[in-house]
Each structure stands twice: as C-alpha cells, then as structure tokens.
Amino acid sequence: MAPRVVAVDVGSVRTNFAWAGLDLPGRRPVGEGGTHPEGAALAVLEAIDSGVPVALGFEAPLMVPVSPVGPVDGWKTLGQARQGETADGRSRPWSAGAGSGALATGLVQMAWVLERVGSGRPALRCTTRPEPWLAGDAELFVWEAFVSGTGKPVPAGITQHAADAAAAADTFADRLEEGTLSASDVVCAPSSSFNLAAAAAAYAGLTIAGSELRDQVQVYRTRPALL
C-alpha cells in the first residue's frame, strides 16, 4: 500500500515546532500540517489505523558516533562530526552549536511522539531500516532529516519551521521514487552508531529489533520543497 510520510521540524513546542505530511505517491498534503507534537502523532496513527505504512522523519541527529574502545586513546575521537555533516563547505556537526541543541530537543520530542503513537497502537512494529519497512515487515520507519545549507528552503507565506518540515517530507518522497532510501547522506563510520531512534522506540514500547541500537539511521539531506 502507498505510504504516508510525516516530517517533523523539532524546536520549542510553544513557538518553533512544525510538522508536514504527504500521502504518496501523489504527494497529497496531510491537511495543512501542524505546530504541535500531538498533531504529528495523530497523522501517524490515522494512516496506520487505515493500514497505511508511515515514514516518520525528525530534523535532529538520531544517531551519534561512538569511538571504538579497543585502540589506545580511542576516546580522543569522541564527539567528532559524522561523515557527511559538511554542507556548502561548512561543518555542521551533531556535537556543536545547533546540532547539539537539536539533538537534545529532538530526542525528547521523538520519544514523546513515538510513545503517543504506541499508546494508540501497542507493540507497533517499528524500524530504522528501510528494507523491512518496504517489505511490509514494519508499519513505521523512522529516519533523520538533514536540513541545512542549500537544502534549506526559503519560506513563502509560512514559517521557516513549516518550510523545513515540508522540504524534508518532499525530499523523502523523492528518495522513495528514486529507490535510494538505503543510501544515507550521513554515516557514523568508522565509529559505531548509537541509534537514538531505536532507543526511543524501545522506550515507547514499540516492537523493534534490539540489534538496531547499533544500526545506522538513514539520513536524507533535504532538497527545498516547491512552496
């Protein structure tokens, strides 16, 4: 069945939070999007209750690199940027500035949204791997949106946060059509990945493989939506 994509631009739930959704493949907007986490969760639940799989993205670091413990002084690389976090010649690491703020804010908002979804659908099958989701072995696929540099849209008649969410949803639709969901734009290698999305899904009571805690989260660098 054709999926729904819901993309979340994390931020203050009072002023800077936004989500946008598209029903694919026609890219029909899910209402007018919204400005609070409850609406994002309901957009997910509405689709899943109708038998429609959902891809849920957050504009926040959903995985962080953990240096190997074997080498002497391996700890010296802790906190370094993930591969692919450079945009337009500027490094935008998860561990500094806007990245660290988005990580902290996004982690709690992701956990809340996933728990809200889980409260409506206990033991819902969730994954951060595109393959089982595409095969129908999981109803919910969680991914990371990377909105930065030339991929950051210029809003027209809407807030920057709404524009960012719309661009993320539109980019996911592009990647699905291209068949490139398994090609992440950002990776933790050569470090291992601490999968925060998998941890949040487990916290929320969703059904997710324990092995995903060390898996890569798929990161899709946005292309501006047509707004």
Q: Alpha-carbon distance 152 to 59, whole Å?
A: 12
User: Where is pLDDT greater, at 207 or 225?
Assistant: 207
Q: Alpha-carbon distance 119 to 101, whole Å?
A: 27
- The residue-averaged pLDDT of 10-14 equals 95
Look-up of token digits 């292309």: 223
The yes-or-no verdict on residue 33 having pLDDT over 90 is: yes
Tell me which of 107-116, 154-163, 182-191, 201-210 is least confident: 154-163
pLDDT in tens, 121-150: 999 999 999 999 999 999 999 999 999 877
- The residue-averaged pLDDT of 196-210 equals 98
The residues, any chain, with a CB within 8 Å of residue 149's CB and separated by 6 or more, are 87, 88, 90, 92
The residues, any chain, with a CB within 8 Å of residue 15's CB and separated by 6 or more, are none
Q: What is the DSSP letter of 183?
A: -
On whether the CB atoms of residues 129 and 215 are closer than 8 A, the answer is yes
- In degrees and rounded to multiples of 5, residue 106 shows phi and psi of -65, -35
Q: Alpha-carbon distance 153 to 141, whole Å?
A: 24
Q: What is the DSSP letter of 70?
A: S
In 3-state terms, what secondary structure has residue 200?
helix
| pTM of the complete model beyond 0.75 | yes
Strand partners, 140: 54, 126
Neighbours of 189 (CB within 10 A): 10
pLDDT band at 109 (very low <50, low <70, confident <90, very high): very high
Look-up of token digits 């999007």: 33
How many degrees, rounded to 5, is the angle at CA 191 between CA 189 and CA 194?
100
Q: Alpha-carbon distance 218 to 51, whole Å?
A: 23
One-letter amino acid identity for 124?
Answer: L
Q: Alpha-carbon distance 60 to 11, whole Å?
A: 10
Q: Alpha-carbon distance 80 to 196, whole Å?
A: 17
CA-wise closest residue to 177 among 32, 27, 36, 10: 27
